[in-house]
Structure 1
Amino acid sequence: MPRVSARRLIPQEPGSWIQRLGVKLRDTTTESPARFAVVIFVSLIALFTVLFSLPAASADGQQTSLADALFTAVSTICVTGLATVDMDSHWSPFGNALVFIGVQVGALGVLTLASILGLVISKRLGLRAKLIAAGDSNPLRVHGGPVNEGQTVRLGEVGSLLLTVAVSTLIIEVSLAVILYPLLVIAGVDPLIALWEAPYYGAMAFTNTGFTPNAGGLAPFADDHAILFVLMLGVFLGSIGFPVIFTLAKQRWHYRQWSLHAKLTLITTVILFFAGAAMFLILEYDNPATFGSMDAGNTTFQAFFMSAMTRSGGFSVVDQADLHGSSLLVASMLMFVGGGSASTAGGIKVTTLAVLALAVFSEAKGRPSVQAFGRRIPSDVQRVALSVVAWGATIVAASTIILTQITKAPVEHVLFDVISGFATVGLSTGIAENLPDAGVYVLAATMFMGRVGTVTLAAAVAASSKTQLYSLPVERPIVG
Structure 2
Amino acid sequence: MRRPAIPAAIAHPVRLLPLSFLALITLGTLLLLMPFARSGGGGPEFMPALFTSTSAVTITGLASVDTSTYWSPAGQGIILFLVQVGGLGIVAMATVLGLFIGGRLGLRTQMVAQVDMHVVSLGEVRPLFRRVAITMLLFQTAVTIMLTARYRATYFDDFGTSLWHGVFHGVMAFNNAGFSLNSDSLVGYAGDGLIILPICVGVFFGAMGFPVLAELFRGWRRPSRWTIHARLTVWGSLFLLGSSAVAFLLLEWGNPDTLGPLSWGQKLVSGLEGGIMPRSGGLNSFDWGGVRGETLTLGTILMFIGGGSASMAGGIKITTFLLLAYVILAELRGDPDVTVGVRRISAPVIRTALTIALLAVMLVTSATMAVMLLSGGTFEDVLFECTSAFATAGLSTGLTPDLPASAQMVLVVLMFVGRVGTIAAASAFVLRRRVPRYHLPEEQPIIG
TM-score range, shorter chain: over 0.9
Residues 153 and 243, structure 1, Cα contact 8 Å, conserved in 2: no
Work out the CA distance in 2 between the residues paired with 1:163 and 1:200.
23
The residue number in structure 1 matching 2:361 is 393
Work out the CA distance in 2 between the residues paired with 1:261 and 1:137.
14
Residue 97 of structure 2 corresponds to residue 117 of structure 1 = yes
Residues 144 and 170, structure 2, Cα contact 8 Å, conserved in 1: yes
Residues 209 and 426, structure 1, Cα contact 8 Å, conserved in 2: yes
The residue number in structure 2 matching 1:174 is 141
SS in 2 for 1:402: helix
Instruction: Determine what percentage of the aligned residue pairs are the same residue.
Output: 37
SS in 2 for 1:345: coil
Work out the CA distance in 2 between the residues paired with 1:119 and 1:113.
10
Residues 247 and 258, structure 1, Cα contact 8 Å, conserved in 2: yes
Residue 105 of structure 2 corresponds to residue 97 of structure 1 = no
Decide which of 292, 299, 302 is 1:334's aligned counterpart.
302
Which protein has the larger Cα radius of gyration, Structure 1 or Structure 2?
1
Residues 76 and 103, structure 1, Cα contact 8 Å, conserved in 2: yes
Q: Give the C-alpha shift of residue 61 in structure 1.
A: 4.2
Decide which of 253, 261, 265 is 2:229's aligned counterpart.
261
Decide which of 423, 440, 451 is 2:419's aligned counterpart.
451
1:433-457 per-position Cα deviation (integer Å, ceiling 9, x unaligned): 1111111111111111111110111
Residues 339 and 347, structure 1, Cα contact 8 Å, conserved in 2: yes
Work out the CA distance in 2 between the residues paired with 1:338 and 1:409.
24
2:306 aligned partner, one-letter code:
G
Decide which of 236, 247, 255 is 2:215's aligned counterpart.
247
Residues 116 and 163, structure 1, Cα contact 8 Å, conserved in 2: yes
SS in 2 for 1:187: helix
SS in 2 for 1:477: coil
Q: What is the TM-score when the length of structure 1 is the normalising length?
A: 0.89
The residue number in structure 2 matching 1:155 is 122
2:105 aligned partner, one-letter code:
L
1:65-112 per-position Cα deviation (integer Å, ceiling 9, x unaligned): 111110011001001101111100111121111001000010011222
Work out the CA distance in 2 between the residues paired with 1:445 and 1:155.
30
Residue 155 of structure 2 corresponds to residue 188 of structure 1 = yes
The residue number in structure 2 matching 1:143 is none
Return 5+ residue gaps in structure 1 as ranges: 1-13, 139-151
After superposition, residues 305-454 of structure 1 pair within 5 angstroms as 305-454=273-422
CA RMSD of aligned residues (A): 1.7
Q: Give the C-alpha shift of residue 122 in structure 1.
A: 4.2
1:268-296 per-position Cα deviation (integer Å, ceiling 9, x unaligned): 11111112112212222232211233344
Residue 15 of structure 2 corresponds to residue 35 of structure 1 = yes
Work out the CA distance in 1 between the residues paired with 2:304 and 2:419.
12
Residues 197 and 269, structure 2, Cα contact 8 Å, conserved in 1: no
Residues 264 and 351, structure 1, Cα contact 8 Å, conserved in 2: yes
The residue number in structure 1 matching 2:262 is 294
2:368 aligned partner, one-letter code:
T
Residues 239 and 312, structure 1, Cα contact 8 Å, conserved in 2: yes
SS in 2 for 1:89: helix
Q: What is the TM-score when the length of structure 2 is the normalising length?
A: 0.96
Work out the CA distance in 2 between the residues paired with 1:225 and 1:348.
30
The residue number in structure 2 matching 1:68 is 48
Q: Give the C-alpha shift of residue 232 in structure 1.
A: 0.5
Residues 143 and 170, structure 2, Cα contact 8 Å, conserved in 1: yes
Return 5+ residue gaps in structure 2 as ranges: none
Work out the CA distance in 1 between the residues paired with 2:312 and 2:88.
7
Work out the CA distance in 1 between the residues paired with 2:410 and 2:180.
24
1:157-213 per-position Cα deviation (integer Å, ceiling 9, x unaligned): 221101100111111111111121111122222322011111111100000002111
Residues 358 and 372, structure 1, Cα contact 8 Å, conserved in 2: yes
1:29-70 per-position Cα deviation (integer Å, ceiling 9, x unaligned): 212x22101111111111111111111110124221111110
Q: Give the C-alpha shift of residue 257 in structure 1.
A: 2.4
